[in-house]
Amino acid sequence: MLTYPELKNLIQFISFLFSLGLNSLLIYLILTKSPKKMENYRYLMIYFSCFAMLFSTVDFVVGPFVHSHEKSFCVLADRTNWKLGEGSQYFLICVLCGCFGVTITFFAIHFVFRFFALERKGRVAYFRGWYFAIWLTIPVVFGVLWGCTIAFLVGPDAEKTEYLRESVLSNYNMTMENVTYIAGVYWKKTADGGEEMVLNSMIAILIFLTLMSISFTIVCYYGFLSYQRITELIDEGHSQYTKNLQRQLYKALVAQAIIPIVLMYLPVGNYLILPLFGVNIAPFSKLVTLLYAAYPAVDPLPLMFIIDNYRIALADYFYCCSSYKNRVTASEEEISRGQTTI
């Protein structure tokens, strides 16, 4: 029977391998099988696939434990066998946390682009030239902001070390002298037995919730607009090809919304917020560790299996079969008429 640390290490390793393999395969499909009308959307997908591989690599190298104890949250890593120094491990933990900021921001940009493409009013031009470079920079800025908040506002200190000591030992059989960690403690006890707010942790959670709220609001707003537009396009479509294509887009939209909400927004949001109100979620935080590691490996799947150009290419390669009843492919004539929209 595997212990939790062993299970965690196994899942992080498997996720790392799958992330490298699936994202590399997706990049190949994007470069060789994408419809011409995808334009810069191809580069957005390649950009995020490369980032997902970086994300999973850092997660595997650091091997973090996402942990919560009473009115605190923390991310810790065992440095028993770490040969590169505590400073480098601390830096990588901050980078790994910053990856969450990059991910949720890119996800929001993805929905903006998807709606502009569906809208067909020429606003996709805002994803070309220098505009496109700015769009690519925004996730990095959000990620750096998230990582710097971690590094400078919720870093380790002697008081936090003692606060977490017993919990870390009982849950992971590790002493605080052998871990590198970041932690936010929302409330600390005073000499008279009361509690007082820890200002740095409160500022940090305010920044985190602001960034998450911005991203989630954009996703919900443009997701709803995209749903409305796809419904209109299905009703407007005169050919079976157009109707089937829009149904594909709708399925991809739903899948691409569910995966990050289930694996990222909800787990991490609850992990950060609930301790603020004194809810001890230590068992749940172990699940957050696994979900966080799994996301980069799972995220490519909707694009690979819902978009016909990619799914059929995979089917032809693995099954040597090119005849499917429900296949929807775009002819060059349909592409030139602008009927394909991703």
The mean pLDDT value for 24-46 works out to 84
Q: Is residue 121 part of a domain?
A: yes
Percent above pLDDT 90 for the chain: 36
pLDDT, residue 14, reads: 94
**In 10 A of CB 14, how many CB atoms?**
14
Question: Alpha helices, DSSP H only, in the chain?
Answer: 4-33, 41-62, 86-119, 129-153, 158-172, 199-236, 240-260, 266-273, 282-298, 301-306, 308-319, 332-336
pTM, full prediction:
0.84
Q: What does each C-alpha distance from 169 to 16, 87, 90, 160, 281 come to in angstroms?
A: 27, 22, 20, 14, 16
Mean pLDDT of the chain: 83
Cα separation, 215 vs 209, in Å, equals 10
Q: Is residue 291 part of a domain?
A: yes
Give CA angle at 39 (37, 45), nearest 5°: 115
The candidate with the shortest Cα–Cα distance to 259, out of 215, 221, 303, is: 303
CA within 13 Å, CB half, 309: 22
pLDDT, residue 258, reads: 83
Query: In which residue are the tokens 């694996």 written?
Result: 263
pLDDT, residue 121, reads: 81
Q: Confirm if 14 and 68 have CB atoms less than 8 A apart.
A: no
Q: Helix (H, G, I), strand (E, B), or coil: what is residue 273?
A: helix
Q: What is the per-residue pLDDT across 44-93, written as a single tens digit (0 to 9) for each? A: 889 989 999 999 999 999 999 999 988 899 999 998 888 888 889 999 99
Q: What is the per-residue pLDDT across 163-185, written as a single tens digit (0 to 9) for each? A: 999 999 998 889 999 999 999 99
Cα separation, 314 vs 180, in Å, equals 43
Q: Is residue 330 part of a domain?
A: no
Percent above pLDDT 70 for the chain: 87
Selected residue with higher pLDDT from 320 and 330: 320
Q: Is residue 141 part of a domain?
A: yes
pLDDT, residue 243, reads: 60
Q: Tokens for 273?
A: 């917020």
Q: Confirm if 233 and 118 have CB atoms less than 8 A apart.
A: yes
CA within 13 Å, CB half, 103: 27
Q: Is residue 167 part of a domain?
A: yes
The mean pLDDT value for 4-23 works out to 91
The mean pLDDT value for 20-42 works out to 85
Round to the nearest angstrom and report the end-to-end CA distance of the chain.
45
Q: Is residue 324 part of a domain?
A: no
The mean pLDDT value for 94-102 works out to 92
The mean pLDDT value for 233-252 works out to 62
pLDDT, residue 4, reads: 85
CATH number at residue 213: 1.20.1070.10
Domain that holds residue 278: 4-312
Which pLDDT band holds residue 113 (cuts at 50, 70, 90)?
confident
pLDDT, residue 242, reads: 56
pLDDT, residue 326, reads: 47
pLDDT, residue 13, reads: 94
The answer to which of 7-16, 109-118, 154-163, 244-253 has the lowest mean pLDDT is 244-253
Q: What does each C-alpha distance from 318 to 223, 312, 314, 315, 321 come to in angstroms?
A: 33, 10, 6, 5, 8
pLDDT, residue 60, reads: 92
Q: What is the per-residue pLDDT across 207-217, written as a single tens digit (0 to 9) for each? A: 999 999 999 89
The mean pLDDT value for 191-208 works out to 89
Residue 334 pLDDT > 90: no
pLDDT, residue 27, reads: 92
The candidate with the shortest Cα–Cα distance to 304, out of 240, 255, 257, 264, is: 255
Q: How many domains does the chain have?
A: 1
Residue 299 pLDDT > 60: yes
Q: Is residue 259 part of a domain?
A: yes
Residue 263 pLDDT > 90: no
